[in-house]
Amino acid sequence: MNNAVAPLGIRLGLRKLFLKSEPVRGYTLLSPTLLAMFLGLAMPLVVLFTLSFWLQEYLDFIRTFSLANYFEFFQKPIYVKLLLKSIRISGMVTIATVLLAYPMAYFIAFRVKRNKLIWLILITVPFWTSYLLRVFAWKIMLGYNGVINSGLKSLGFLTEPLAFLLYNPTSVVITLAHAWAAFAILPIYVSLEKIDRSLLEAGRDLGESAWMTFLRVTLPLSLPGVIAASLLVFIPTVGDYVTPSLVGGPRGIMIGNIIQSMFGQSQNWPMGAAISVMSMFTVAAMIGLFLWGTHSYRKRIA
Amino acid sequence: MNTNRPWWRPDGFYIYAVLYLTFIYLPVLFLPVFSFNNSKYIAFPLKGFTLKWYEAMVNNPPMLNALMNSIKIGLIVAILSTIFGLLAAKAVTRYRMPGRGPVVGFIMIPLVIPEIILGISLLILLSLADIPLSLLTVGFAHLLLCVPFSMLVLVSRMEGFDKSMEEAGLDLGENAWMTFWRVTFPIVLPGIIASLLLTFTISFDEFVLAFFLSSIEQTLPVYIWSSLRFPSKLPSTLALGATIFMASFIVVTFAEWIRRRGVRLDSTSGI
């Protein structure tokens, strides 16, 4: 249509085709996004997969197919151990975050009558601080001369600061549960807010206790929000290396730290690619298992 | 749900809510405290009030340069990803297309992949293709991350309004572009603003992709990362953090004010 020289008939014909065919119009509108996603997502993932079968030789790659990286992954216990530990830590983070967030979301959805938006904004305000600084804040909280130690000392409960608060898997879990709180509250809140209030009244009218109404009506209906929240927290935290390297210490490192070092100090990109591929498959399998579990739970109570 | 309790006899939920807010606020509130503390060590006890870290912040060209880089990338990424997201949202909400589900799923992949994997796979591709790392590569990676968010926001806004209003525009003799400009755009505007704010925020705070894909020119999170390792740089970084926090507070208050006006306009112009 930008070709003014083309004969009128052809231009009208093309225009008609464009306006008539919904798929053509739809895909035209989608084309910038799809092109970007192809170049920046599909191709890199293919290249990552390919690289995991190559080997590193000094600064170059040996570009012949080899399973050596995958053999190494399973032979050296550190990789599998770290991957399992990362999944355990992220799983604990997810459970803690969702359990802590649910009552808060419930409170805003059902107990707050006016100014719900104010509460939602109140929840998101702390997350305007840089992620890195939020993680660092826990170093201030848990550190040797940090808030908790200094507070307990000045109250006379301690004579010497506690050194075990920071640099362990627990401090990683606390920090991540704090950093991702908003990602859990908002989806749960949305799913609770959607619940038809008359269903709850029906439950109560039929003689169920408040607790049974919650278990048999509210909780199942809010499950989509819980699932979304769990995935939103679990997926990014598995690969996180910022938090473990700031508050985890040697005992708190996760698989992300290893991947990062393969692309940094260790300079073994193919091995890093293989670890990434294995992590991706494991995470995908965990998500599949989780979704299957929640699905069968929903079918059982339906 | 008859809880008209007086405030001095709160129920369990209320107490829980207050405790929860304490949990999410407390650590973050200590950051600005140390930006006013007259010591370069981030530790108790506090050493007295000072503004010297704010002075150091203003006289710190590398940090201000990183801040400018992040603002630049954030603005460009916000605009581009909102345009991409708008086109894509229009496509999937307005047209029947074969393969819609898989295509949407494909676009949403960046949301379900750990960022580190997105970052390193882009790094590998760029290095094999001999493309040098720069702010441009960071911006491109941010675009990938932001388009799905933008699309989610805009799809939910566009699903909310009636297709017949656009058809009316076309029937009344407007062309497609003018229909978009005079009918669709005003209705979707709140979604567009939400998308711009969200994508700017994501890009501005994004660290992992920028860490892998930037070279000498740093973004602000990459600068902050390096300052976390050099204690002498930390207090002025905290000062900048506090300043940015105040600035975003003002922006969000302003945005909320606009949104309320939008809601009022919505309700007065409703048919």
Q: Quote the pLDDT of residue A1.
A: 46
State pLDDT tens for residues A38-47.
999 999 999 9
Residue B132, both tokens: 């040098």
Residues of A in contact with B252 (CB under 8 A): 121, 128
Distance CA B74, CA B202 (A): 8
Q: Is residue B260 domain-resident?
A: yes
Per-10-residue mean pLDDT of chain B, 271 residues long, equals 56 90 91 85 80 88 94 96 94 85 91 91 94 95 96 85 75 80 84 90 94 93 90 86 85 76 59 37
DSSP output for chain A: ---TTS-HHHHHHHHHHHHH-HHHHHHHHHHHHHHHHIIIIIHHHHHHHHHTTSEEETTEEE-S---HHHHHHHHSHHHHHHHHHHHHHHHHHHHHHHHHHHHHHHIIIII--S-HHHHHHHHHGGGGS-HHHHHHHHHHHHSTTSHHHHHHHHTTS-SS--STTSSSHHHHHHHHHHHTHHHHHHHHHHHHHHS-HHHHHHHHHTT--HHHHIIIIIHHHHHHHHHHHHHHHHHHHHT--HHIIIIITGGG--HHHHHHHHTTTT--HHHHHHHHHHHHHHHHHHHHHHHHHHHHHHHHH-
Q: Is residue B18 domain-resident?
A: no
State pLDDT tens for residues B25-39.
999 888 888 888 888
Q: Quote the pLDDT of residue A20.
A: 67
Q: How many structural domains is chain B composed of? A: 1
State pLDDT tens for residues A172-184.
999 999 999 988 9
Q: With contact defined as beta carbons under 8 Å apart, do A243 and A257 qualify?
A: no
- Of A12, A11, A15, A131, nearest in space to B176 by CA: A15
At the top level of CATH, which class does the domain A68-301 belong to?
mainly alpha
Q: In A, residues 194-253, which contact B (CB 8 Å cutoff)?
A: 200, 231, 235-236, 238-242, 246
Q: Quote the pLDDT of residue B271.
A: 37
Distance CA A217, CA A200 (A): 7
Domain harbouring B196, CATH code: 1.10.3720.10
Of B11, B109, B207, the CB nearest to A242: B207
- Residue B248: CB atoms within 10 Å: 18
Phi, psi of B37 (to 5 degrees): -90, 130
Phi-psi region of B48 (alpha: psi -120 to 50; beta: other; left: phi over 0): left
ipTM (interface pTM): 0.86
Residue with tokens 């930037």: B214
- Residue A167: CB atoms within 10 Å: 21
Q: Is residue B57 domain-resident?
A: no
Q: Quote the pLDDT of residue A96.
A: 96
Q: How is chain A split into domains, by residue range? A: 8-51, 68-301
Q: Is residue B26 domain-resident?
A: no
Q: Is the CB of B14 less than 8 angstroms away from the CB of A131?
A: no
State pLDDT tens for residues A66-76.
899 999 999 99
- How many A/B residue pairs have CB atoms within 8 Å? 224
Residues of B in contact with A47 (CB under 8 A): 121, 124-125, 128
Q: Is residue B11 domain-resident?
A: no
- The nearest alpha carbon in chain B to A257 belongs to B116
Distance CA A222, CA A187 (A): 9
Q: In A, residues 14-33, which contact B (CB 8 Å cutoff)?
A: 22-23, 25-30, 32-33
Q: Is residue B168 domain-resident?
A: yes
Residue B34, both tokens: 């140390």
Distance CA B226, CA B75 (A): 24
Distance CA A72, CA A267 (A): 16
Q: Is residue B214 domain-resident?
A: yes
pTM score, whole prediction: 0.86
CA angle A84, A89, A92 (to 5 degrees): 125
Per the structure, the complete domain to which residue B105 belongs is given by: 62-269
| Higher-confidence position of B261 and A79 | A79
State pLDDT tens for residues A248-268.
988 889 999 999 999 988 889
**What string of H, E and C letters represents the secondary structure of chain B?**
CCCCCCCCCCCHHHHHHHHHHHHHHHHHHHHHHHHCECCCCCCCCCCCECCHHHHHHHCCHHHHHHHHHHHHHHHHHHHHHHHHHHHHHHHHHHCCCCCHHHHHHHHHHHHCCCHHHHHHHHHHHHHHCCCCCCHHHHHHHHHHHHHHHHHHHHHHHHHCCCHHHHHHHHHCCCCHHHHHHHHHHHHHHHHHHHHHHHHHHHHHHCCHHHHHHCCCCCCHHHHHHHHHHCHHHHHHHHHHHHHHHHHHHHHHHHHHHHHHHHHHHHHHHCC
Q: Is the CB of B87 less than 8 angstroms away from the CB of A131?
A: no
Q: Is residue B45 domain-resident?
A: no
Shortest Cα distance from B193 to chain A (angstroms)? 17
